[in-house]
Amino acid sequence: MLPVFSARRALLGTLALAVLVVVCLALAVMSYAAALSSRRDAAAVDELRLAANRVAAADELADYGVEPEPALLADEIEVLARDHSSALSLMGPRDAARAEHVIDEILGCGLGLVGQGPAVDHSHAHGEIDGFLDRASTAARDAATRAERRAGVAITVAALAGLLTALLLVRSRLSEVGLEAALQERSSVDPLTGLANRRTLRHRLDALDASSGLSAMVLLDLDGFSTVNDELGHQVGDEILRAVAARLGEIVRAGDLLARIGGDEFGLVLAGLREPNEALEIAERCVSAFDESIWLSSGEEFIRVSGGVAVLDADVGANRALVEADLAMYEAKRLGGQQAVVFSPEIEASASRTAEITRALRGLDVTRELSLVFQPIVRSDDRAVVSHEALVRWESPTLGTVSPADFIPLAERTGDVQVIGRWVREELCRRLVDWDAQGRAVDVSMNMSPLELRGDDAVEELVSLVRSHGLSPRRFTVEITESAVIDDAGVMRRRLVELRGAGFRLAIDDFGSGYSNLGQLLGAPFDVLKVDRSLLLQLSEMREAHGGDPSGPCAVMQSIAGIAAVFDADIVCEGVETAQQLTSLAASGVTFVQGYHTGRPAPEPVEVVSV
């Protein structure tokens, strides 16, 4: 905005100066004309004075008997006979009247001398006219001098203004050039981080050719950055982006191009790679660069980054590389984030599935298409059912059965998760009321997306829903995924405290699914620790590989059970599919399990054995 304003001001200034030049020049011309006319008047007066003096001299000589040659006075008489109005105008009105009279007298005398009229005595007129004309001549010369001085000043001012105009024109041209340079700079650099921008990255990608060697495009995106911006404010958001830019800058190799290409999106163009895998290695280095927290003026902040990699070749040009890197990056996020993924055709297929699901979500009719199933949570030693986890099912008219693992993350992105969650909670309350009426005392676990808890009155709404059905919050365990507890620390922790305060039980879901910040996680209040299926699988596989007893106690599970005990929380292990896993878990002190082995999700809960 600023350069435009100052450019306009400069233009106005230049115009004003140009007008001044013209006005001054006009004034100078007029003044010179006036001076010229005054000088001409003075000359006329002098001529008149000379003529009068000559006639007077001839008259005096005539007194001594020297008759003048008539031809000698012809010129003087001619002068005296002229119109003297301009000479007279130089005098006051009374002087002018007198002078006119005197001139006439002298003319009469002259005419008398050359015999063209009667002789006239003019001795008085003589002395008088000389005084009048002398004053008139001086006045005319003074006026001329004044006009010349005025013209001089006008010329000087015009010259100065002209010079200034020229200077301004040169300067505005220079600043135009500077502005162009600034615009050029602005359009190639991201002003927030000082990195290259999307345009520059595009140029670099377009410029890649055979001489660049093996090249790749890496797209990096912060996980959950919108939450940061919403909750900590844009200023903190900007600070984070600058810190991220700085840290990424330490990783890129000389010759690579690092750019900020969108809100929280960074791009990296790599050239001269030895092999395709090197691109993934660099991307992974970028991701793990944030294993260590960053420091802001407000304190420590944990950042997670997901990366997508596309390798360029004869078929994959700049446009395609951007699409592929984007798809791969979204795959990395879908897999839980904080990792880098290389593009593959399968990813594209799943992305088109994502697009289909997103489209189908738009037409979702919750009451017709959604239903709940219930999976028993059982005691590990005697398999007594203690509660059920409610899991949502979607039967889409266009896509058929869609897994919540596929549509919930998308619904979180589109915001549809609010509508889905509300339906789930209402349906769950209705079912509990029904079961109560049938004398079946069932407690339930329900999943809530962090997005559903973001609102200030989220807990209040939940409480009034449960109460309006005459139910006690104690019968509900709310499962929140551990990543939400870590990412969203501020608001989330408040909600968790509120939930527990209202009487709900709280479970940290997906424990051990890849988030390593145990300290931060355990800072949150909870009643149940739900160990993720992926951790159970990993541990089972490890023991198999090392020839361990698959039904024996597992040290890792034992220590997790120990952590839960310290917090006076229950521990539930998910995804138990075999009898060996169950035995091992029971032997490790994991008191509750959930899995296909002890009960699949079903439309109705199984008989509950109360504990």
When the beta carbons of 348 and 406 are compared against ligand C2E, the nearer one is 406
Tell me the window of 259-267, 309-317, 360-368, 403-411 that interacts with ligand C2E (CB under 6 A).
403-411
Q: Which one, of 501, 508, 502, lies nearest residue 526 by Cα?
A: 508
> Which amino acid appears at position 604 of this protein?
E
Kindly list the distances between the CA atom of residue 281 and the CA atoms of 277, 284, 292, 341, 456, in Å, as whole numbers in the listed order. Answer: 6, 5, 18, 10, 42
DSSP-derived secondary structure letter, 314: S
Which residue in 404, 514, 525, 553 binds ligand C2E (CB under 6 A)?
404
The encoded tokens of residue 428 equal: 């769950």
The piece of 278-286, 447-455, 560-568, 585-593 that touches ligand C2E (CB under 6 A) is 447-455
* Binding of residue 392 to ligand C2E (CB under 6 A): yes
Site string for Ca ion, 434-463 (x = CB under 5 A): -------------x----------------
Binding of Ca ion by 301 (CB under 5 A): no
User: Residues 139-142: contacts with CB within 8 Å, 24+ apart?
Assistant: 139/90, 139/91, 140/38, 140/39, 140/41, 140/42, 140/45, 140/90, 141/38, 141/39, 141/42
Question: For residues 102 and 576, which CB has a smaller minimum distance to ligand C2E in the complex?
Answer: 576
Residue 509 engages Ca ion in binding (rule: CB under 5 A): yes
Name the residue nearer to Ca ion (CB basis): 239 or 389: 389
Please say which residue, 287 or 521, places its beta carbon nearer to ligand C2E. Answer: 521
59 contact choice in ligand C2E, Ca ion, none (CB below 5 to 8 Å, kind-dependent)? none
Is the Cβ–Cβ distance between 216 and 273 less than 8 Å?
Answer: yes
Residues in CB range of 134: below 8 A, 6 or more apart: 49
Residue 596 binds which entry of Ca ion, ligand C2E, none, CB below 5-8 Å type-dependent = ligand C2E
Q: Is 570 in the site for Ca ion (CB under 5 A)?
A: no
Transcribe 104-149 into DSSP letters.
HHHHHHHHHHTTSS-----HHHHHHHHHHHHHHHHHHHHHHHHHHH
Residue positions counted in the chain: 611
Cα 289 to Cα 248: distance, rounded to the nearest angstrom: 8
Number of residues interacting with Ca ion: please give it, by CB under 5 A.
4
Q: Which does 148 bind (CB under 5 to 8 A by kind): ligand C2E, Ca ion, none?
A: none
Instruction: Choose among ligand C2E, Ca ion, none what residue 252 binds, the Cβ cut-off being 5 to 8 Å by kind.
Output: none
Figure out which of the listed residues 105, 223, 479, 488 binds Ca ion, where binding follows CB under 5 A: 479
In whole angstroms, give the CA distance from residue 541 to residue 454.
38
CB of 298 to ligand C2E, least distance (A): 31
Q: Is 447 in the site for ligand C2E (CB under 6 A)?
A: yes
Which one of Ca ion, ligand C2E, none is in contact with 107 (Cβ closer than 5 to 8 A by kind)?
A: none
Candidates 510, 543, 560, 581; binder of Ca ion (CB under 5 A) is 510
Q: Distance between CA atoms of 66 and 69, rounded to whole angstroms?
A: 9
H helix runs in 480-554, sequence order: 482-487, 489-501, 518-522, 533-545
Q: Which residues lie across from 531 on neighbouring strands?
A: 511, 573
Selection from 610, 190, 192 nearest residue 379 by Cα:
610
Say how many residues touch ligand C2E, by CB under 6 A: 24
Nearest 10 degrees: CA dihedral of 383, 385, 390, 394?
60
- In the bound state with ligand C2E, the residue whose beta carbon lies nearer, of 479 and 487, is 479
The minimum distance between CB 513 and Ca ion, in angstroms, equals: 7
Instruction: Give whichever of 8 and 600 is closer to ligand C2E, judged by the CB atom.
Output: 600
- Range 484-543, binding ligand C2E (CB under 6 A): 509-510, 533
Q: Does 574 participate in binding ligand C2E (rule CB under 6 A)?
A: yes
424 binds ligand C2E (CB under 6 A): yes
Crossing angle of the two packed helices 276-288 and 234-251, in degrees rounded to 10: 140
Residue nearer to ligand C2E on the CB measure, 21 or 492? 492
Q: 275 or 544, CB closer to ligand C2E?
A: 544
Contact 353, 406 (CB under 8 A): yes
Told to check if 76 binds Ca ion by CB under 5 A, we report: no
**Which is nearer to ligand C2E, 352 or 403 (by Cβ)?**
403
Site residues (vs ligand C2E, CB under 6 A) = 375, 391-392, 403-405, 408, 421, 424, 447-449, 479, 509-510, 533, 574-577, 594-596, 601
Site residues (vs Ca ion, CB under 5 A) = 447, 479, 509-510
